[in-house]
């Protein structure tokens, strides 16, 4: 029998080599093309004789989430542990839809750069700035509920601490400061963020790939979200600071089950972007997803009802999280814990530290 191609030299590999030889390279819009561990490899341990589930209609599950209470007098309070991340590279209609959608479900919108009028009206706004920001005075005119400092590969920890101190002084310590970084050396970065005075960290997993970035580079430069959250949690435990610094997971969150597992692993909230864009009608085909055509916008027909679709998506994710929590006997999403999970594969067990199912 003659195989059509080698397991190593696949048609995709050959196409990639030809593309590089022509002076180009593969681009990935959202995540690498290669397979990586996901939340699907974890399962919840249902209640039984030793733990009793809550009755769905009579017993409610609390979803309200408080972020940044470490040192700010006014922490960020949202009605669901799921908030939306937007981008200045998107078109006006889609940015407006994401902002309105976040307000409809009493959550938050995270975005930086020059804000649209629609975005300034978001009920809760997390304003993103670069770690290279020179002065915090530029933030004084912006109505925001939290500041997120985006760390790059060459950010100096001492300069980061100075910037955070300036931001807090400018805002009279009234709003929390988040620090966002890619999931590389997570434990070291979390400890550095803790020392810098941050109130929360946003860990961007391998699934969160910036638009237009080389596929080959990012496929091997950070860890999946499912592995990054336990690392962040362990760093706080080693620093004796569990509960002081909030952990926000960004990347790989598709369903309510994913979000609930992220919270059980140690996160306090999750951020979504890709799912919200798809719900709003911005992406409708796998081809569009792969190329991430950020400069186009919603058509007139797509723009109608886009905000409501985004809100319904987040609402369904939150309801699924609450359903899972009640099935475990939990009346608060923040009560989900490590012991509620088991791993289905040895790989997932090694990454997360969870016991293998059936062990």
pLDDT of the residue at 73? 85
Beta bridge mates, 325: none
SS3 for the chain is CCCCCCCCCCHHHHHHHHHHHCCCCCEECCCCCCCCCCHHHEEECCCCCCCCCCCCCCCCCECCEEECCCCCCCCEEECCCEEEECCCCCCHHHHHHHHHHHHHCCCCEEEECCCCHHHHCCCCEEEEEECCCCCHHHHCCCCCCEEEEECCCCCCHHHHHHHHHHHHHHCCCCCCEEEEEECCCHHHHHHHHHHHCCCEEEEECCCCCCCCEEHHHHCCCCCCHHHHHHHHHHHHHHCCCCCCCEEEEECCCCCHHHHHHHHHHCCCEEEECHHHHHHCCCCCCHHHHHHCCCCCCCCHHHHCCHHHHHHHHHHHHHHHHHHHHHHCCCCEHHHCCHHHEEECCHHHHHHHCCCECCC
pLDDT of the residue at 216? 46
What are 126-163's pLDDT values in tens digits? Answer: 999 998 887 788 788 889 999 999 998 778 889 999 99
Task: Tell me the domain boundaries of the chain.
Answer: 30-352
pLDDT of the residue at 215? 47
> What are the residue ranges in the chain where pLDDT is below 70?
1-5, 24-34, 56-57, 209-220, 285-296, 299-302
Cα–Cα distance list, 25 to 15, 111, 207, 209 (Å) = 10, 28, 19, 15
Classify domain 30-352 at the CATH superfamily level.
Answer: Aldolase class I (3.20.20.70)
pLDDT of the residue at 139? 86
pLDDT of the residue at 70? 83
């Amino acid at each position: 029998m003659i195989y059509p191609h080698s397991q190593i030299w696949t048609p995709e590999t050959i196409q990639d080599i030809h593309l590089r030889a022509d002076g180009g390279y593969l681009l990935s819009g959202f995540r690498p093309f290669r397979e990586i561990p996901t939340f699907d490899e974890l399962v919840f341990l249902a209640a039984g004789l030793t733990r009793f589930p809550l009755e769905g209609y009579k017993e409610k599950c609390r979803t309200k989430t408080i972020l940044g209470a470490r040192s700010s007098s006014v922490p960020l309070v949202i009605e669901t542990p799921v908030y939306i991340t937007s981008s200045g590279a998107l078109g006006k209609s889609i940015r407006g839809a994401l902002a309105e959608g976040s307000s409809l479900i009493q959550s938050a919108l995270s975005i930086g750069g020059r804000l649209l009028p629609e975005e300034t009206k978001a009920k809760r706004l997390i304003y993103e700035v670069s770690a290279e920001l020179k002065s915090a005075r530029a933030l004084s005119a912006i109505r925001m509920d939290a500041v997120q400092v985006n760390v790059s590969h060459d950010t100096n920890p001492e300069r980061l601490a100075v910037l955070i101190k300036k931001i807090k002084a400018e805002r009279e310590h009234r709003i929390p400061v988040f620090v966002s970084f890619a999931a590389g050396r997570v434990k070291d970065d979390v400890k550095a963020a803790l020392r810098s005075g941050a109130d929360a960290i946003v860990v961007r997993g391998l699934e969160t790939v910036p638009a237009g970035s080389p596929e080959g580079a990012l496929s091997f430069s950070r860890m999946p979200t499912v592995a990054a959250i336990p690392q962040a949690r362990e760093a706080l435990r080693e620093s004796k600071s569990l509960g002081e610094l909030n952990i926000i997971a960004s990347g790989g969150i598709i369903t309510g089950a994913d979000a609930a597992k992220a919270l059980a692993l140690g996160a306090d909230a999750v951020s979504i972007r890709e799912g919200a864009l798809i719900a709003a009608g911005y992406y409708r085909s796998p081809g569009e997803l792969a190329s991430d055509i950020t400069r186009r916008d919603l058509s007139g027909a797509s723009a109608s009802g886009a905000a409501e679709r985004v809100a319904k998506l987040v609402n369904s994710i939150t309801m699924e999280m609450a359903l899972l929590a009640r099935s475990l006997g939990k009346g608060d999403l923040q009560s989900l814990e490590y012991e509620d999970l088991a791993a289905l594969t040895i790989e997932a067990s090694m990454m997360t530290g969870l016991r293998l199912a059936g062990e």
